[in-house]
Structure 1
Amino acid sequence: MTIEEKKPYTVFGYGSLIFKPPPHVIRQVPGFLKGYVRRFAQKSHDHRGTPENPGRVVTLVHKADWDVFSGSDAFPDEDVVWGIAYTIDPQYESEVRDYLDYREKDGYTIEEIDVWGIEDGREVVVAANCFTYVGLPENPSFIGSEPIDQLAERIWQSVGPSGRNKDYLYELSAAVRKLAPESHDSHLYALETRCRRLDAEHGDAHQN
């Protein structure tokens, strides 16, 4: 099979990939997944925290599974996750796969999904058979549901090699708002509100 005949490698970003895209992108389209939630349910030992003080980063969880793990979700009616589908230049597919495998090494595995969008008021598939990295519940870094105020405190005070955990949250929130007129994430925005309240109470300093 030649490069021209091969199906393009497309990856869906729903976390840091939204505001820090992969290299060698030839096309990108905003869209959403159905039947999932985006939650700060994954420990970050290597990017936004340390092994001794892990931060929290997002993962995808099937809505039905999350309902089991969370007990009572504060945002029960949302089951779509907005992000970006990136199509990679076929010449660099192997390089980008290796790059993403390393970047998402802390407990993430690959799933294949369809990405939806809204065109002329209708929901349509904008990227079929798209790959995405998911921290499944059985991976050792999955922490599940935490009380939202406790989670916000953890995010606010955590720092790792890639920077402050709260900056990850703030950049992600800002990026999701810009994806499309319909893009939204109540859980994300509620955490942002709580962390900014901590900024106001304690000052926007670099935490240790």
Structure 2
Amino acid sequence: MSFDTTEHNRRRYCFDGVESVWLFGYGSLIYKVDFPFLEQRPASIEGWARRFWQGSHDHRGTLESPGRVVTLIESPATCCKGMAYRVSPDVFSHLDVREKNGYLRFVTPMIFTDGTREDGLVYIATEDNAAFLGPAEDAEIANQISNAQGPSGRNSDYLLKLATALRTLGDDDPHVFALESYLR
């Protein structure tokens, strides 16, 4: 069973003649920056909410016991805070593999903390991908997260590091913090 979107993302955008691209991170891309960047700035996107609705079969879980990681769902009047990175297009050869488990690249308008705006790329796992788990009760999601582990470590570490990173950004994400409270 494959959830790999790597090649699809590589065909999705042409970077010919482009020196740099903005990338918006809202999950592990906030705290696990394993790629070079030219600039880093807090930013937000409007109309999206962060949810632990994506299965992780390759990083924070296994095929037999998938973990849960965040994706974005459309949510009018919601603002999702994260971190924007200005990167060289060659960084996507690494990121497409890192985000291969059902995530696709989309263009999104971003708002920086100083009010300026730029378009950037964001990885979103839509509900039609094979690894999408969808909504569940917070206690059920937290239980799945607390029991999952994969090649990148414990799923609970992902959640706890994300909660810490969001506090550092000054974000109050009720979904993430509710799940964190179940784990603590």
Q: CA RMSD in A?
A: 1.7
1:161-202 deviations in Å (ceiling 9; x for gaps): 1000000000000011112x4x22111011001111xxxxxx
Following superposition, the deviation at residue 8 of structure 1 comes to 2.0
Which SS does the other structure have where 2:60 is aligned?
coil
- 1:19 pairs with 2:31: yes
- 1:58 pairs with 2:76: no
1:111–1:132 Cα contact (<8 Å) kept: yes
Following superposition, the deviation at residue 22 of structure 1 comes to 4.1
Q: For structure 2, which runs of at least 5 residues remain unmatched after alignment?
A: 1-14
Paired position in structure 2 for 1:171: 161
Paired position in structure 1 for 2:140: 150
What TM-score does the superposition give when structure 2 sets the normalisation length? 0.86
Counting aligned pairs with the same residue, the percent is 39
Cα distance in 2 for residues equivalent to 1:125 and 1:60? 22
Cα distance in 2 for residues equivalent to 1:145 and 1:190? 14
Following superposition, the deviation at residue 116 of structure 1 comes to 1.4
- 1:190 pairs with 2:178: yes
* Aligned match for 1:103, one of 98, 103, 116: 98
In the alignment, residue 192 of structure 1 is paired with which amino acid?
A: E
1:1-31 deviations in Å (ceiling 9; x for gaps): xx9x735211111111111114221101001
Following superposition, the deviation at residue 118 of structure 1 comes to 3.5
Larger Rg: 1
Paired position in structure 2 for 1:135: 125
In the alignment, residue 80 of structure 1 is paired with which amino acid?
A: C
Paired position in structure 1 for 2:78: 79
Number of equivalent positions: 169
Cα distance in 2 for residues equivalent to 1:153 and 1:54? 12
2:52–2:71 Cα contact (<8 Å) kept: yes
In the alignment, residue 116 of structure 2 is paired with which amino acid?
A: V
Paired position in structure 2 for 1:125: 116
1:39–1:187 Cα contact (<8 Å) kept: yes
Cα distance in 1 for residues equivalent to 2:44 and 2:137? 26
What TM-score does the superposition give when structure 1 sets the normalisation length? 0.77
